Structure 1
Amino acid sequence: MNLLELQGVQTHIGAYHILHGVDLQVPKGELTMLLGRNGAGKSTTLRTIMGLWHASQGSVRFAGRDITQLSTPQIAGLGIAYVPETMGIFADLTVKENMLLAARAARNAQDMDDMRLKWIFRLFPAVEKFWNHPAGKLSGGQKQMLAVSRAIVEPRELLIIDEPSKGLAPAIINNMIDAFGELKAAGVTILLVEQNIHFAQRLGDTVAVMDNGRVMHAGSMAEFSADTQLQQRLLGLAL
């Protein structure tokens, strides 16, 4: 069963035609990798799913519901969390205040789900360590951990993340891989845009490869990893 489906999605940004009929399926309970060269349309696809840009043609369906024309707050309210490539951290607020903003059901830090916070602290110890520090003072890796932590501070059905490993040290990438593995095991459906092939191979259940604003290939990650000729043709490199 697919939790998220895009059919024939076209997106224009001003005079630019970026997506040229994207067909994408994200199976429920699995981790789907969205791969492709720079400029292939991956980030635009994520932003279109979230309603930050609206599709000019085609449809976006979540849990069987057409969400193509919904606003971004409405889409988020359905249980979809989005972590952009820029991470969207509020630099002048503390880590705690960033988390509290994302925990919409909580009026103060004491109202946040204690068991869920302990789970997040175990996944990302830096979030607990720097709880009362300004988020702008964190390292790049710590900011990425905070961005993901905000996305999961309340239960979500779908987690959409744009290049979570970008610029991170290998040790932090491994920590991130472990965390996403736990999220997947907890039943969260995940859609990741990723350039780090090691990251993609270790985590992905299914894969979709984009080029020129279209999905050129979709299937299992294991089969894609084993087919070096297909990798070379679609990505210009072998895994």
Structure 2
Amino acid sequence: MSEPLLKLSGVHTHIEQYHILHGVDLVVPRGELTVLLGRNGAGKSTTLRTIMGLWRASAGSVQFDGRELAGMETPDIARRGIAYIPENMGIFAQLTVQEHLQLACRSGKPDAARLDWIFGIFPALKRFWHQPAGTLSGGQKQMVAIARAIIEPRRLILVDEPTKGLAPAIIDHLAEAFVQLKASATTILLVEQNFGFVARLGDSVAVMDGGVIVHSGRMADLAADQDLQTRLLGLSLAAHQ
């Protein structure tokens, strides 16, 4: 396994009176797509939000490239080269596609070569460039959310359930986008319930249950072992492809 870019050690997170993460140990190898799996309520989204500083770890360490993130403010974490795409996409209905990408750039103006690369991944965004994002389909909004996250080079992208509610054709398009992101040396931590999708894309995998990591390894090994899938997740990948 390659050198980790992100490492969580003994991370606990409380949200008001609720203890959600109970000592998470997670390694995200550099340059890979790591899948975070688990049943609903296992703590997957809370893990992403804790990494991003949206919820504070009450104990433990979150190290990014050897430097501690726990206790840092979210804007400072983002400036380290980390982007976060939430499950709800965080789209502003009245802003155009252009305005979403401009706001995500420090200079306020996207780099032309970078923008052309994004249009190559998501050609539809060029067609809808001046259109309010609220008028777009769910798949098109997801394209905006991903494009906004990568309009400047990022070292790590945290993605929460990007295929939720999307048509199979759009999911295939998103898969190709993640392949291109990996090829650009971007590390990805992906929470996803579409097991066929992650089996195609994932390099490494971690499975959560009850706020802790209960399994970690190579995605190919988990995809090939239906007994392990059923034991960890209560179902097999084949049943959901």
TM bucket by the smaller chain? over 0.9
1:103 Cα deviation (Å)? Answer: 1.1
User: How do residues 69-80 of structure 1 correspond to structure 2 at under 5 angstroms?
Assistant: 69-80=71-82
Aligned residue identity for 2:89? M
Aligned residue identity for 1:8? G
Q: How far apart, in 1, do the equivalents of 2:228 and 2:107 lie?
A: 46
5+ unaligned residues in a row in structure 2: which ranges?
A: none
Q: How far apart, in 1, do the equivalents of 2:76 and 2:201 lie?
A: 29
- Between 1:205-214 and 1:119-128, the stretch displaced more is 119-128
Spell out, residue by residue over 1:180-210, the C-alpha distance to the aligned partner (whole angstroms, 9 max, x if none). Answer: 0011011000000000001100000000000
Q: How far apart, in 2, do the equivalents of 1:127 and 1:188 lie?
A: 21
Q: How far apart, in 2, do the equivalents of 1:101 and 1:75 lie?
A: 17
Spell out, residue by residue over 1:150-183, the C-alpha distance to the aligned partner (whole angstroms, 9 max, x if none). Answer: 0000000001100011111000000000010011
Q: How far apart, in 2, do the equivalents of 1:160 and 1:26 lie?
A: 11
Instruction: Choose the corresponding residue for 2:183, options 177, 185, 189.
Output: 185
Q: Is 1:29 equivalent to 2:31 in the alignment? A: yes
Spell out, residue by residue over 1:211-233, the C-alpha distance to the aligned partner (whole angstroms, 9 max, x if none). Answer: 10000000000111111111001
RMSD between aligned alpha carbons?
A: 0.6
Q: How far apart, in 2, do the equivalents of 1:76 and 1:105 lie?
A: 15
Q: How far apart, in 2, do the equivalents of 1:232 and 1:9 lie?
A: 26
Deviating above 3 A after TM superposition, structure 1's stretches of 4 or more consecutive aligned residues are none
Query: Normalization by structure 1: what TM-score?
Result: 0.97
Q: Is 1:85 equivalent to 2:87 in the alignment? A: yes
Identity of aligned residues (%): 65
Q: Is 1:43 equivalent to 2:45 in the alignment? A: yes
User: How do residues 1-239 of structure 1 correspond to structure 2 at under 5 angstroms?
Assistant: 1-106=3-108, 111-239=109-237
SS of the aligned residue for 1:56 comes to: strand
Aligned residue identity for 1:57? A
Aligned residue identity for 1:132? H
- Contact conserved, 2:101 with 2:110, CA < 8 A, in 1? no
Spell out, residue by residue over 1:83-122, the C-alpha distance to the aligned partner (whole angstroms, 9 max, x if none). Answer: 000100111111100110011223xxxx321111111011
Q: How far apart, in 2, do the equivalents of 1:223 and 1:57 lie?
A: 32
| Count of residue correspondences | 235
Aligned residue identity for 1:55? A
Spell out, residue by residue over 1:121-156, the C-alpha distance to the aligned partner (whole angstroms, 9 max, x if none). Answer: 111112111000001000000000000000000000
Q: How far apart, in 2, do the equivalents of 1:115 and 1:127 lie?
A: 15
